[in-house]
């Protein structure tokens, strides 16, 4: 008998020691702990969706507590109603309503059959609004999910901002009528809802950068947003950096020459030529402009057109500035330091 008790006592002692050691090494296993919140960066598609208004194609997860046989996953039909709930014959309106509003209607419907039903309605999938597309002179053309109201500046930010080839305008085309327009917007609309589908609306990039107002409209689901590529103007002749210049907004002659580094010392400032496209021929028209008079405010600056060629010519051989430069360099030429 003693031989049997000794192994049992030894085994019980080992088990006690192991249990104490295990509890001391992992105390978190002995009692439940709350999950640790780890913040994550939210995209434009994950913010501000509490006020999401339902539409045809959205899927709802409807649960009746204590009545699991009544739980269902239902899709809002093309008429904007929930019409496939168990035992509920009359369709429940869901279009342009929030999930909380639909939850109350579902609760009232089941109250006819159940005593104080506890109902939960949650959005399982959002499919009622097609994405908007932004492309053109942006760094990352893409489609943007529209589960909340998004303004134009947010679309540009999602696309990585404007590229170097961006012009001065952004064009927006509405492809479908707005599903759930805001009450304030409906009151201020001058045309019937949906009448603007297919129409082209233009916005200035300069106005968008100022922020707010009409320059930063809300983009609708299905919209096509195109950031226009800037047309080119060519600056050549006696400028410091002859180059092609991208037109932004209204580019003037002085602005184009400034972008090209300005005229050189021997440039002819009183007669600059603008070779303009005419009859589908580049440089078909020659416009002479007094650049010096424009700088002095005596003449109005010239607004350039796409594919204008700005040619800054050279001073005449007997001009005062050229003779001065020749006389200034004469001693150096005689000393053999200049060719």
- The string of pLDDT tens digits covering residues 131-140 is 999 999 999 9
The encoded tokens of residue 42 equal 């939210």
Residue range 120-130: average pLDDT? Answer: 94
CB 156 within 8 Å of CB 208: yes
Alpha carbons 251 and 304: distance in angstroms, whole number: 6
Please provide the CATH number assigned to the domain covering 48-125: 3.30.1950.10
Q: What does the DSSP 8-state code read for residue 248? A: -
Q: Is it the case that residue 332 has pLDDT exceeding 80?
A: no
Confidence of residue 250 (pLDDT cuts 50, 70, 90): confident
Same fold, 48-125 and 132-229: no
The residue that leads in pLDDT, 309 or 27, is 309
CA distances from 326 to 39, 73, 91, 312, 336 (A): 72, 90, 94, 21, 15
What residues are paired with 304 via a beta bridge? none
31-35, 85-89, 284-288 — which is least confidently predicted?
31-35
User: Per-residue pLDDT tens for 210-239?
Assistant: 876 788 999 999 999 999 998 999 999 999
- In this prediction, residue 210 carries a pLDDT of 84
CATH class, range 132-229: alpha beta
CB 233 within 8 Å of CB 304: yes
CB 54 within 8 Å of CB 102: yes
Percent of the chain with pLDDT over 90: 60
Per-domain residue ranges for the chain? 48-125, 132-229, 232-314
Q: Is it the case that residue 36 has pLDDT exceeding 60?
A: no
What residues are paired with 166 via a beta bridge? 229
- In this prediction, residue 111 carries a pLDDT of 94
Confidence of residue 185 (pLDDT cuts 50, 70, 90): low
Mean pLDDT of the chain: 81
User: Per-residue pLDDT tens for 96-123?
Assistant: 999 999 999 999 999 999 999 999 999 9
Q: Is it the case that residue 41 has pLDDT exceeding 70?
A: no
Q: Is it the case that residue 46 has pLDDT exceeding 60?
A: no
The encoded tokens of residue 235 equal 């600056």
- In this prediction, residue 295 carries a pLDDT of 95
Residue range 180-204: average pLDDT? Answer: 74
CA distances from 159 to 5, 34, 148, 225, 271 (A): 78, 38, 17, 11, 44
Alpha carbons 248 and 170: distance in angstroms, whole number: 12
Confidence of residue 144 (pLDDT cuts 50, 70, 90): very high
CB 266 within 8 Å of CB 240: no
C-alpha of 263 from chain center: 39
Q: Domain 232-314 falls in which CATH fold?
A: Outer membrane lipoprotein wza fold like (3.10.560)
User: Per-residue pLDDT tens for 195-207?
Assistant: 789 889 999 998 8
Question: Smallest Cα–Cα separation from 256: which of 280, 274, 268?
Answer: 274
The encoded tokens of residue 166 equal 């961006």
Number of H-type helices and E-type strands within the chain: 8, 17
- In this prediction, residue 336 carries a pLDDT of 55
- In this prediction, residue 184 carries a pLDDT of 58
């Amino acid at each position: 008998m003693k031989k049997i008790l000794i192994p049992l006592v030894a085994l019980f002692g080992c088990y006690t020691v192991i249990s104490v050691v295990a509890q001391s090494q992992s105390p978190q296993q002995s009692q439940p702990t709350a999950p640790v919140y780890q913040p994550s960066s939210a995209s434009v598609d994950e913010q501000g969706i509490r006020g999401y208004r339902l539409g045809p194609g959205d899927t709802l997860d409807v649960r009746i507590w204590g009545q699991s046989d009544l739980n269902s996953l239902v899709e809002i039909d093309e008429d904007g109603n929930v019409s496939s709930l168990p035992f509920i014959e009359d369709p429940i309106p869901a279009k342009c309503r929030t999930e909380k509003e639909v939850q109350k209607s579902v609760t009232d419907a089941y109250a006819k059959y159940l005593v104080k039903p506890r109902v939960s309605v949650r959005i399982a999938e959002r499919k009622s609004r097609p994405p908007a597309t932004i492309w053109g002179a942006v760094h990352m053309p893409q489609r943007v999910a529209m589960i909340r109201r998004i303004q134009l500046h947010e679309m540009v930010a999602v696309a990585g901002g404007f590229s170097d080839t961006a012009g001065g305008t952004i064009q927006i085309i509405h492809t479908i009528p707005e599903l759930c327009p805001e009450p304030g917007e409906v009151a201020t609309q001058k045309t019937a809802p949906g009448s603007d589908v297919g129409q082209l609306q233009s916005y200035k990039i300069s106005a968008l950068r100022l922020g707010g107002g009409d320059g930063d409209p809300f983009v609708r689901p299905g919209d096509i947003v195109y950031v226009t590529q800037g047309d080119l103007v060519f600056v050549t002749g006696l400028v410091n950096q002859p180059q092609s210049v991208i037109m932004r907004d209204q580019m003037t002659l002085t602005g184009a020459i400034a972008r090209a580094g300005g005229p050189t010392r021997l440039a002819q400032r009183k007669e600059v030529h603008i070779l303009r496209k005419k009859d589908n021929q580049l440089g078909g028209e020659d416009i002479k402009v007094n650049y010096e008079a424009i700088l002095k405010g005596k003449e109005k600056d010239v607004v350039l057109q796409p594919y204008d060629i700005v040619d800054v010519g050279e001073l005449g051989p007997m001009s005062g500035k050229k003779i001065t430069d020749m006389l200034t360099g004469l001693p150096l030429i005689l000393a053999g330091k200049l060719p």
